[in-house]
Structure 1
Amino acid sequence: MKAKICGITDKEAALCAVEHGAKAIGFVFAKSKRKISPEDAKEIIAALPKEIWKVGVFVDETKDTIDEIVKISGINVIQLHGDESSEFAAQFTLPVIKAFSIQSEDDLRAVADFSSDYVILDSPREKYHGGNGKIFDWNIVKNYDFHGKKVILAGGLHKDNVEMALDMVNPYMVDVSSGVETDGKKDLQKIQVFLNKIAVHS
């Protein structure tokens, strides 16, 4: 099982995540309490292994801005977390992950219709478009046929519920941010415990 640790803002947390098995590190370039500059992301990315996904999170950003941040930071995967269209996503040469807020089975039709190979299933939006620390009803996606799309599960995951999430949804990857934080800051021990739970489950 693969894991993405999102909302990384410092090198220590990024290296801890990679050391304990994370396959993807997420950097938020949208409005968020975890927002990072392209220059600071570049410094962290330079210290990460080549094979790790360095994911840039964007919300309804222009293509030119995304391209510029990709160029500066060195991210190698683009995550679209707003209301972007399939046509917009198709313009990029890097792999694209499209995030969807899931409230009912009706929302899953939009997931199936989107052109991206990778999709994030997340909780309904609140102040920010992600990282709200709340789960959605996983029964909605249990046994749903996503026609070969690689599903990344997000929304309120933490060490005490991630094994249940893996059993119910069986995603390609899990994505955590607030679930490995203490007082709004990445907690190295929580990162380690979360990733160890996944490793044991796998």
Structure 2
Amino acid sequence: MPARGQIRTRAKICGITRIEDAKAVVAAGADAIGLVFYPPSPRSVTVEQARDIAAAIPAFVTVTALFVNPTVEQVQSVLDAVRIDLIQFHGDEDDGFCQQFNRPYIKAIRVRQASDMVEACVRFPGALSLLLDSYKPGVPGGTGETFDWSLVPENLSKPIILAGGLNPANVANAIQDVKPFAVDVSGGVEAEGPNGLQKGIKDASKIQAFMNEVYRG
């Protein structure tokens, strides 16, 4: 547990597609869920699914909507139908686009070098935080791979959310090394099937183990 007076690291569980998984996130003590509105993703949800999931989330747990290069109409249709507290943009959107929806937003950055993060703080003045994810050509996120955490500069002007390949086995070390404001996980807490991870289906025991390690970190 964090020492007295020390800020606790927050956590978001992303790629939620089922009400039972959302409830497991809440029970484990996570701070936010992520709903993916990007149809190419196996973790994508419809507006109808999202509405039902969001309705099961109590106060003080943030419902985050994730988009990749959406149109204004696509974003607005979700906001009109679903309780959304925060927007996460994962594509090539600029600050002006991101700020127009009357919701706070965070911007995902696919990290290749330290300057990417420094420049993003300038390019996205309206972002509440930067979400740092692994760079993989042609993949906007959800790679399941870590990046070189030593690239993260100290004293960035915006809080950072660390993502990319986190799981119960490495998140405590990640928190100790990077000291992010928050961490974000998706594939690292998914259920195992006969052919590997069941993308979009979470494992409640992995979620709890992840949160235990977040508190330990």
TM-score of the pair, normalised by structure 1? 0.94
Q: For residues 8-87 of structure 1, what are the structure 2 equivalents within 5 Å? A: 8-30=16-38, 31-87=40-96
Query: Could you tell me how far apart the structure 2 residues matched to 1:110 and 1:26 are?
Result: 25
Alpha-carbon displacement from aligned partner over 1:79-115 (angstroms, at most 9, x marks no partner): 0000110111121211101000001112123322111
- Offset of 1:188 from its aligned partner? 1.1
Q: Residue 12 of structure 2 contacts residue 182 of structure 2 at CA under 8 Å; is this kept in 1?
A: yes
Query: Partner of 1:129 in structure 2?
Result: 140
Question: Structure 2: which 5+ residue stretches go unaligned?
Answer: 1-8
Given candidates 153, 159, 177, the residue that maps to 2:168 is 159
Residue 57 of structure 1 aligns to a residue whose secondary structure is strand
The answer on whether the counterparts of 1:126 and 1:132 sit within 8 Å (CA) in structure 2 is no
Structure 2 CA distance, aligned partners of 1:160 and 1:23? 20
The answer (yes or no) to whether the contact 2:172–2:216 under 8 Å persists in 1 is: no
Deviation above 3 Å: which 4+ runs of structure 1?
A: 125-128
Q: Distance in 2 between matches of 1:24 and 1:43?
A: 16
Does the C-alpha gap of structure 1 residues 126 and 73 become closer, same or farther in structure 2, counting only changes over 3 Å? farther
The SS at the match of 2:210 is helix
- In structure 1, stretches of 5+ residues that fail to align are none
State the AA in 2 paired with 1:13.
D
After superposition, the CA RMSD in angstroms is 1.2
DSSP 3-state at the match of 2:168: coil
Aligned-partner residue type, residue 139 of structure 1? S
CA distance in 1, matches of 2:10, 2:99: 25
**Shift in Å, 1:126:** 4.6
Q: Deviations over 1:33-76 (max 9, x none)?
A: 10000111110111111221100000000122101111112111
Q: How many positions carry a matched residue from both structures?
A: 199
Residue 213 (structure 2) pairs with residue 197 (structure 1): yes
**Match of 1:132, as an amino acid?**
T
What is the TM-score with the length of structure 2 in the denominator? 0.88
Q: Which residue of 1 aligns with 2:149?
A: 138
1:199–1:151 Cα change, 3 Å: same
* Preserved contact between residue 90 and residue 140 of structure 2 (Cα < 8 Å): yes
From 115, 121, 127, the equivalent of 1:112 is 121
CA distance in 1, matches of 2:144, 2:213: 18
